Amino acid sequence: MNTKLMATIFFLGALAIGAVAGIFIDRAFFRPPLHENRPFGGPHGPGDPMLRHFSHELGLTPAQQDKLAAALENYRGRFGNLRRSMHPRYLAMRDSLHIEIRAMLAPEQQKKFDEMNKHVQMKHRRMHAKPRQRLLDSTKTFF
């Protein structure tokens, strides 16, 4: 197998692994809290889908609903802190991978690689600019 073919296969494999890892990390750690796009009052008010779901399914008393709302808000803050602490580490790993990939490419391939990355970043920005209505519609998504 010639060197160019091997480099191309390696590049495509690294790109695919990076894309899958990026999607997983984004879905697992970087989604905004459910209440950021909530059309109802404040977080964990009567319109909170998660609180409504638990209340309905478990038959919670008003006192239990208040305790649950406080617990959800407490953990939601913790999840947000974890997401904020992990994000710089994720970006550093992604940037290191991009540097390593660029180093193995010819100048023309580097230009194409840069354009590919620019396209992915633009797509990512567009995706995150859209309202996450599916999060509001779903009472099954908890975190």
pLDDT digits (tens, 9 = 90+) for 84-130: 899 899 899 999 999 999 999 999 999 999 999 999 888 888 877 65
For residue range 8-23, list pLDDT tens digits in order: 888 888 888 888 888 7
pLDDT tier at 30 (50, 70, 90 boundaries)? low
Q: Is the pTM of this model over 0.85?
A: no
d(CA 92, CA 56): 43
Q: CB within 8 A of 50, min separation 6: which ones? A: 34, 44, 72, 139, 142
Confidence of residue 143 (pLDDT cuts 50, 70, 90): very low
Confidence at residue 63, expressed as pLDDT on a 0 to 100 scale:
92
Determine the Cα–Cα distance for residues 113 and 76; give it in Å rounded to an integer: 37
| pLDDT bracket for residue 74 (50, 70, 90) | confident
Please report, for the chain, the start and end positions of each structural domain, with discontinuous segments joined by +: 3-137
pLDDT at residue 103 in the model: 94
Helices (H) and strands (E) in the chain, counts: 5, 0
Q: Which residue has the higher pLDDT, 1 or 6?
A: 6
Q: Please, what is the angle between helix 107-129 and helix 3-29, to 10°?
A: 20
Task: Give the sign of the dihedral formed by CA 59, CA 64, CA 68, CA 71.
Answer: negative
